[in-house]
Each structure stands twice: as C-alpha cells, then as structure tokens.
Chains A and B, each alone.
Chain A
Amino acid sequence: MAKQLIKGNEAIVKGAILAGCRYYFGYPITPASEIAEAAAFYLPLVGGTFLQAESEVASINMLYGAASGGIRAMTASSSPGISLKQEGISYAAGAELPMVIVDIMRGGPGLGNIGPAQADYNQIVKGGGHGGYKLIVLAPNCAQEMCDLTMLAFELADKYRNPAVILADGFVGQMMEPVEFPEPVKKLPEKPWAIKADSDDENRLISSIDLELEKLEQHNLELFKKYADIEANHVKYENYLLDDAEIVLIGYGVVSRVLQTVVDELRQRDIKIGMLRPISLWPFPKKQIAELAKRVKEFFVVELSAGQMVDDVRLAVNGKIPVHFYSRMGGVVPSPEEIIEQLMKLNEAN
C-alpha cells in the first residue's frame, strides 16, 4: 500500500473513518482544529455527520447521545476544551458508553499557549472528571500511530464499552509524516445495549445514576473488574535498544522521538542506553518497568510537564533504583543535546 505524507491531525480523521466512525462533534481550538476541519471535509463524503457544537460541553454531550445510539463517534479538542468535557466524560464512563476523545495537548495552565505539552496526563489518566473511573489512554508519537491508535481506540472502546482517549501533543498533531493506511473495518461489533428506536428499546437504558448505595457500589465493582481485564490484556509499549541497556530513558509522544535521537547519539559513544516508550498510558506498562528495574541501573524520565507520568514510573520502580526526571514546560520541547547534557551531569555526580 502506498504511503501518504500527512499531518498527524488529519491521519486521526482518516483512521477514524476507516475504523467505521461516521459522527464527529467538536469545537475549534488550536492545535487540534485540523481534526475538526478534516472531519468536516471527509465525513459528508462518506455519508457521515460533522457537527460544530456550541462548546466542548455541548460536543461531549452530543457524543454521549450519539454513542447511546450504538454507532462509532468521536470528538477532539485541546487542553482547555478537554477540561470542559470532563463532566461528560465521567457520565460516559459511568454509563459505559464507547467513544473516542482526542486531546492534542498544549501549554498551560489556563489559556497558556498552543505549543506542545504533556501536562494533561493526570487529568486524562487519573480521571479528570469526578467519581473515579478509568479511560483507555493511547499516546501516539508519529503520524502513522495517529491513524493506527485511533483505530485501536475505537476497537477497545467498543470491546469494553468505555471511552478511549488519544493523548497527543501539538507537535505530533501538527507534523507531517508518511502514513500507510490500513484497510477499512468491514463489520462493526453488535451493540445490543444501544438505543435503536425499536421495540426492544423498553429494555434499554443509558444512565449513570443509581440512588441505591449498594447497587452503585456494585456498579463500581463491575467497572473495576472490567478495568482489571483491560490492564491484563492491553498494555502497549515500545522497547528501544533495551537488551544491554544500563540507563533507560522513558518518555511518550514527541518526547520519545527526542529520546530516540538521544539514544542514537549516545550509542555512538558506546554508552549502554535505551528507551522504554509507554504507548498505552492507561493501562500503564508498570510490570515492564518493574521488571526492568531489576536489571538496569537507572531510569531517566522526560516529560513536557512538571512531572506527572514520572509518578507512575516511581510507583512501578518502588524505590529499587533511582528515577531521574527532566522536564520542559510552556510549549518548550527539549533538544537532544539538552538532554544529553543532563545525562552527562548525572554521570559526573555518580
């Protein structure tokens, strides 16, 4: 199959449509607007619906309504817009509605700027909405994965009746790279629970409310059983030159691209260094990190935030070996040279 040079943001939309998504509800925001624009362009051509909502609050609730109908649907936004969606995301998690939400993270807090950032990790991975729930969170680092992971997000969302999130940064969204698009999904899964406007509807209810305390507790227990299943089966990560590595870099999204360059350069200097890249941020590759902690000397985590994912790394490592941390914020992406300098400083201190 031929390759197409394409923006990450646009690859998401094509991937979504190949995955059978025919509905998009969104509100413009940089650096995610190309997703809405591409959806507005392509969906009508394939018999789908694009609707620009009055706000992110409206768009997540339109998505809630559409997902109730059993079809594949999505929304996308960037950090401030994702904040507005949180109540709706919590409702969707509670009502167990499959949907795909894309967050092209930008600098914050507040209005911040449109540079790439990773400071929404806690909001998305730890449940930015109320009530304690889990989202399936996938973090692409190239245009190809913007397509592939979007398709996977739809599949997992349907399989588990759970919202799934593509968590990317402004650079992965804005950059163009070759993408090989896979074949379209031919048959979508049956959804007997969905509202279909037919005679069985009287037995169907999409809701997240339950006033009976024990029943709601039971619902929570069932949700967490489902989450355990996802954790057991859908951890995704990439190992880069880890076989003989003594120092392991950890980063996701655009950071992992910078870290690859760091590894490539330091390998030329015969330094035994490698990288672990979490692809699923939830479920998090904590077992893999714990295993590595038994045989490598130290971890070095880099994030575009003051340190969010690093907490999960530290939990997995559980104090066994040092976990170092370096970050840039506000839309700044560290250069490979800058990270190498940090690593050299550490080396001197040791």
Chain B
Amino acid sequence: MAKALIKADSFYEIYERKDGIKDVTHYCPGCGHGVLHKLIAEALDDFGIREKSILISPVGCSVFAYYYFRLGNIQAAHGRAPAVATGIKRVHPESVVISYQGDGDLAAIGGNNILQAANRGENITVFFVNNAIYGMTGGQMAPTTLIGQKTTTTPYGRNVVNEGYPVRVCELLATLDAPVYIERVALTDAKNTSKVRRAVRKALQNQIDNKGFSLVEVLSACPSNWKMTPVQAKQWVEDNLIKQFPLGVYKDLTDQIKPKKAEKQVFSVDGLKEKLNIPMEEEKYSTSVKEAKEFRNMKLKIAGFGGQGILLLGLGMAQAAMQAGYNVSWLPSYGPEMRGGTANCHVNISKERIGSPLVSKPTVVIAMNLPSMEKFQSEIEPGGLLLYDTSLITQKPVRDDIKVLGIPATQIADNLGNTRIANMVIMGAFIAYTSVLDKQAVINALPFFIKRKNLIPLNEKAIVEGMNYVLSSN
C-alpha cells in the first residue's frame, strides 16, 4: 500500500474506496500513477483551475483516478477517453479537460481515438502513462512492451515475428499538423521528475491558453507486474525503457500558435424555425379540378434513366398534391441501385390516410425509357394508366386493359432547348390527363422543388407544352 499523499487541494479530503482505507491510494508501492496524480493535482492548485477542470478516468489501473481528484469526474470505456474528452470539451469549451490514459488504453484499443483527437487538435491535455505492460489485468503484453520482455501473454519474451515492435506514440503523433506540444518524460530520479512537473504544467497551460492539443508521455514503473522492487523498477526504466523510448520534446508549437477562441454555446430558440427552413404559413391552394374516380387514391410508379429527373418528377407531384390538400408519400430508389443508371420512385396521392408507401400495384406507371416500361407495365391495375415517352420508347405497350398515353416528351423538351425538362413535359401531360392537379397547383409547387430560380420559367413552359399536347389530341 502506498504512502499517504501530501494532500493537494485538488485531491479529495478522504478517498472513498471499497476497502474503507481513507487516505492512501489504491496504487502499488513504487507505482508511477500516484506520483503523476500528485504532480497534476499540484499544478491544478497552483493554476487555480481545479473547479473548472474535468478528468476523464480510463480503464486501467487509473480507472479510479476519480477517487482522488476533487473535480468533475467522468469514467470512460477502455481506450475511449479522448472521444469522451472531445464530447465534454465541446460542451464546456471554457473547462480544462484531462484525458488520463495507460499504454493499453491509449496505444492499443484506443489507438485511433488518440490519433484522431490529436489530429483534430482538440484543446485537451493528455497524460499518457507508459509502463510497458497491462497493469490492471495482471501483467499482459502492452503495445509498448519491449522486445524480449516477459509478460503473462509473452511468457517467452516479446517476439517481433509474432507481436511486432514497441509502439512509439510521441514520434507517431508528432508527424501530425495539429498537435501543439508533445513530450516524453520519465518518473525516475529527481531531475527527471522535475521535468515531468514542468511538462505537466506546460500541457495544462496550453489548454488554458486555448492553444490546442498537448500530450505528455510519462515513462513509469510498474513494480508489481514487472516483478521487481520499487528501486529495481526505477532503475529498469532508466536502463531499458528510456532506451526504447527516448526522452525529449517531439513537437512544440507553443510559442507559434495563436490561441483559438473558446465560445460557449447559448441555447436559444429565437428564429429557430426560420433557420431550420420550416415554412411558417400554409401555402393555401384548393384545387377546383375533380379527378376521375379511377385516379382517386393514386399509386404511381415513375421510372427511367438516372439523369432524366425521375425522382424530381415524383417529388414535384407529391409537393404539388400536398399543397393542394392531398395526403402524399414519395419513396425513392436509393443507394447502389441508382448507380446502375436507372431510377424509380413510388408516389401515393390520396384524400385518405396512406398505407404502404411502397407501390406494388400501381394505378399509374410513368415510363421514361424502354426497360422501365417493360419492367412495370405488367404491374398496372386493370383500368390504370401507362404514360410513356414515345421519343425514347418506340415499342408499343402490350397491355390492352389499361389506358395508354404516349407523348414525345424528350422531343418536346429538345424543341424547348433543354432535354432535361422532359420530366416536366410529362408532368403537364399527367395533370392534363388525370385532372388530379391543375396547372396552378403545380406552378405553386415549382419553387419548392426547382432549386435554381432562373429555371422556373422554362419548367413552366414545359408543363404547359405537356398539357397542350394532351388537350389538343383529345
């Protein structure tokens, strides 16, 4: 059992521990964790930042760091302290957040989390205790275990052929652009320990100054799992660990970096709906037209090539129908399906509550290419409608129990000077034929689905052309 610490104000008066011992730590004699805790607590005292500091305790021997530090404590999952630190720091940017981690936690299971937190330049301070072993779980190999070092999972010594080489964290992270300060120190003699003290303070000061990410790696003894006395263990750090993990500053931009402003977010609901682009007033429009009985509860399937504006056509119908007081749903084909070059969507337009958004038995199929017509005409409900683009589909539909409306939509669009508005020609033909919507309903809806305002007149023209085609051929 370790000696009682000389209490820093940043430590609790008594340590609430399981075994009822109130004033000594749970760390083994000669363990580096306790000493590092003390150096950190003293720095917090001296900087006067205890109350605004938040400590993330990792999984490892220091899982109970929160027993000791008298401040906001969060215990994190194994390896995730940098992610947890990121979350709380973003919420309280004015706080001082410390991620305290062992080598298994930081360099093995949490390797990507420390890498990415460093790379984002999170304004946090990381204290990384490298003792070349898994302490808490009883002395298994760590990513920092030395070549040849015996652990309970490398009983014959770490073999590079099987286990690879010790990971040098400072060297790795120093290659990133964002970190401000990275140093490796060792808890051995008085001289080295005073370097640890200095590094701890510098790493905290950087955060107070809003300079960004700092990490201090602390080579530290684990006498229990190294199976040594505290004195031997310290010597082993000097003789072996420091050789593999040279001490020194690996990155230091402290004097070059301009502090970032830490802005605390204020919760406000002012103008929220505008910012969220939520419409404030109903687009009032009641359509005067009466749809034919067979087009009540309309179920549409619209299909064609990607790029023909298939999804937009469906969306436009749904938008216009919604504004005209119908219930609507629009379901697109999505994901890799679209990469094959075909697109389709399912649209329901109904005065009643809509059931399945998925249309299995369409009352209307709009086909803008041959594969779509071939695929979907067989599904149409008897008496339903097949609307297709005769400029692209020369084949005649085979069904004789449905209504068929062919329109050279692409050609009409070409004549208007833009192939891509064939979809709106179809829209015009569709509303003229079914009377589900009138022209004004669609025109009202245009600004909601045509994002480029200057294209609206052209789209309007296409709709009118489509309508005229149907009305003149009737």
Q: Do A and B come from one complex?
A: yes
Interface residues of A (CB under 8 A from B): 1-5, 14, 17-18, 20, 22-23, 25, 30-31, 42, 45-49, 51, 53-55, 57-59, 61-71, 73, 87-88, 91, 95, 114, 142, 170-171, 174-178, 181, 184-186, 188, 195-199, 201-202, 204-209, 211-212, 254, 257-264, 333, 335-338
| Interface status of B54 (Cβ within 8 A of chain A) | yes
A107 to chain B, nearest CB (A): 11
> CA of A2 to CA of B325 in the docked complex: distance in angstroms?
11
Contact A333 B91 (CB under 8 A): no
- Segment 322-345 of B: residues with Cβ below 8 Å from A: 322, 327-332, 334-336
**Contacting B80 at CB < 8 Å: which of A14, A23, A30, A61?**
A61
24 A-B residue pairings within 8 Å (CB atoms): A53-B83, A55-B112, A58-B80, A64-B76, A65-B76, A69-B88, A70-B91, A87-B77, A174-B332, A177-B329, A177-B357, A181-B278, A186-B269, A201-B72, A201-B73, A202-B70, A257-B354, A257-B356, A257-B357, A257-B358, A260-B356, A261-B355, A262-B355, A337-B360
Given contacts A88-B80, A188-B267, A208-B75, contact A65 B273 (CB under 8 A): no
Which chain B residues border A142 with CB–CB below 8 Å? 329
> CA of A81 to CA of B320 in the docked complex: distance in angstroms?
37
Contact A197 B328 (CB under 8 A): no
Q: Interface residues of B: mostly helix, strand, loop or mixed?
A: mixed
Given contacts A5-B322, A68-B87, contact A184 B76 (CB under 8 A): no
Contact B83 A65 (CB under 8 A): yes
Contact A5 B315 (CB under 8 A): yes
Interface residues of B (CB under 8 A from A): 12, 18, 51-54, 56-57, 63, 66, 70-77, 80, 83-92, 94-96, 112-113, 115-116, 265-269, 272-273, 275-276, 278-283, 315, 318-319, 322, 327-332, 334-336, 353-358, 360-361, 448
Contact B90 A206 (CB under 8 A): no
> CA of A47 to CA of B276 in the docked complex: distance in angstroms?
12
Contact A4 B360 (CB under 8 A): no
> CA of A220 to CA of B439 in the docked complex: distance in angstroms?
63
Given contacts A65-B88, A186-B269, contact A31 B329 (CB under 8 A): no
Which chain B residues border A62 with CB–CB below 8 Å? 83-84, 86-87, 90
Contact A91 B77 (CB under 8 A): yes
> CA of A198 to CA of B356 in the docked complex: distance in angstroms?
52
Given contacts A63-B87, A201-B71, contact A178 B358 (CB under 8 A): no
Contact A5 B448 (CB under 8 A): yes
Q: Interface residues of A: mostly helix, strand, loop or mixed?
A: mixed
**Contacting B72 at CB < 8 Å: which of A42, A57, A196, A337?**
A196
Which chain A residue shows the least CB distance to B279? A2
A7 to chain B, nearest CB (A): 9
Contact B83 A336 (CB under 8 A): no
Which chain A residues border B334 with CB–CB below 8 Å? 30-31, 114, 170, 174
Given contacts A65-B84, A66-B88, A202-B12, contact A48 B279 (CB under 8 A): no
**Contacting B74 at CB < 8 Å: which of A53, A195, A202?**
A195
Contact A31 B90 (CB under 8 A): no
Which chain A residues border B332 with CB–CB below 8 Å? 174-175
> CA of A128 to CA of B101 in the docked complex: distance in angstroms?
27
> CA of A64 to CA of B80 in the docked complex: distance in angstroms?
10
Contact B83 A335 (CB under 8 A): no
> CA of A69 to CA of B63 in the docked complex: distance in angstroms?
20
Contact A69 B280 (CB under 8 A): no
Which chain A residues border B278 with CB–CB below 8 Å? 2, 4, 14, 181
Contact A88 B77 (CB under 8 A): yes
**Contacting B113 at CB < 8 Å: which of A2, A22, A58, A188?**
A58
**Contacting B76 at CB < 8 Å: which of A61, A199, A263?**
A61
